[in-house]
Amino acid sequence: MPASDESPPAARPADEPTDAARWGWRLLRAALTCIGLLLLCRPDYLQEFETSARRFEVRLHPARPPGPLARLAIVRITDADYAELFDGRSPLRPERLDTLLRAIEAGAPAAIGVDLDTSTPELARLATRAYRVPVVWAREVVPCGADEADMEADGEADAPPRERCVLGPTPTVGAVGAVTFEQEADGSIQRYVREIRTSTGLVPSLPWALQRHGAPSAGGEARGDTVSRYIRFRRHERLLSLSAREVLALARDSLGDYRRVGMLRGRIVLLGGSYRAARDAYATPLAPRMLGVDILAQTLATEMEGGGVQAPRWWTVAALQIAVTATVLGLFGVCTLPSAFALTLLLAPPIVLTCSRVATGEWMTGWVYFVPLYGVLLVQQVYEAAEDYRAQFIRGVVHGGLRHAGAGPLDVPLQPVESAMARLRGWMSAAGAAAVRGARAAGRGAALAARDARLRLRRTSRRADQPEAVSTEPPQRGAD
């Protein structure tokens, strides 16, 4: 029986790590990478990128059918109203404000939210008067015992938490709603809370109080909490907006259409100020300058649809990043390098978009938490796979054990590689032998040439040493 041409598998070199050891180090490096990027990708550090992504996504939202904003209305005190009706005076005149509230009440709204500073003793007396519709009075929540400088510092994103108090007395009629929003690191407003913890207990926010008094939530009876939620800004929905003078003119209508089938009937009305002295404008993903009463309308519409998505917490982002890491490592552990690389690139968009949707409630807002991790893991796995193949290939060439390796991480069969290396070694040997033969021939030729040169030199020197012969015969003459 003829002997087999195949040699037995070579023994694994002693210095070659096992597959378990290689994957152990790979998992450790991936875990360290995940932890480092998790610390870097904390929501507090990437608020500016998240705000830009949210602003971009809000602008991409298509037009929607009439939603919750269609059941809201805003009555604004403009600069002209502030100058003519209130004589340009702050705080506002109580009797003029009461007249405006009575005019809004005549339109039979579902509820009225007063987004004005009514914490002064003069205006606080308005809260003792009875109205035919629910009225929610805005109250500002500030640090207890703080002056104006402390109030400005407390509004910063990195300010330490302090005990808060509600400005102004508690109304005997109606309800109170806090108007404090959470500012991001870049100063914009994106989130809100349903209830605010104060020294006297939990105080509902103005949108949350209006939602409970004026319109039931689409998601059923919701429970109050202090969890931060995202405002679902709406770009294409129209919102009914009237000035104070227009409402007063409609209330004086003798025909009574405003009272019976008026445009405010059944709506939740927000009364706010757009005059410059109010200084009530903030940056949002929808616009670089947005009035506070418009932000309250967007927040109230969000609550009327069941509430906003909770802001991502660090353990939620960590769990999703761990899932992304496991997915990438699994692809590179099961598939070959070309297949794993192609699948990782192909699955990158759906994985990142899904994680962003789960974390922030939007498809593109949370990309900053996962794209850096995904890219670093992809580069790391490709580099480690290439290094494994390189080390395996070098060990095979050195130890002659290419046959036992089968196929490497690059999915390249190693037997053809061994044959190619053998042919390359044969070519190199043949080239070396030819070079040696050529050098020898050249040496022999040079030796022969040197010997011929020496012989010619000797002959020349001998001829030079011999004396020249002198002829004694007379010259021959020609015949005459």
Residue 408, pLDDT above cutoff 60: no
Task: Using a pLDDT cut of 70, give the percent of the chain over it.
Answer: 71
pLDDT-derived band at 471 (thresholds 50, 70, 90) equals very low
Task: Using a pLDDT cut of 90, give the percent of the chain over it.
Answer: 20
Mean pLDDT over residues 49-75, rounded?
A: 76
Per-residue pLDDT at 399: 59
Per the structure block, which two tokens stand in for 335? 């598939």
Indicate the residue type of 419: S
pLDDT-derived band at 161 (thresholds 50, 70, 90) equals low
Alpha-carbon distance of 129 to 131, in angstroms, equals 7
Would you say 141 and 164 are in contact if contact means Cβ atoms under 8 Å apart? yes
pTM: 0.67
The string over 15-40, giving b where at least 16 C-beta atoms fall within 10 Å of a residue's C-beta and e elsewhere, is: eeeeeeeeeeebeeebeeebeebbee
Per the structure block, which two tokens stand in for 150? 């402390």
CA proximity to 82, closest of 241, 265, 242, 278: 278
- pLDDT higher for 395 or 109? 109
Residue 444, pLDDT above cutoff 50: yes
What are the tens digits of pLDDT across the range 171-213?
Answer: 766 688 988 887 877 788 888 999 998 888 888 999 999 988 8
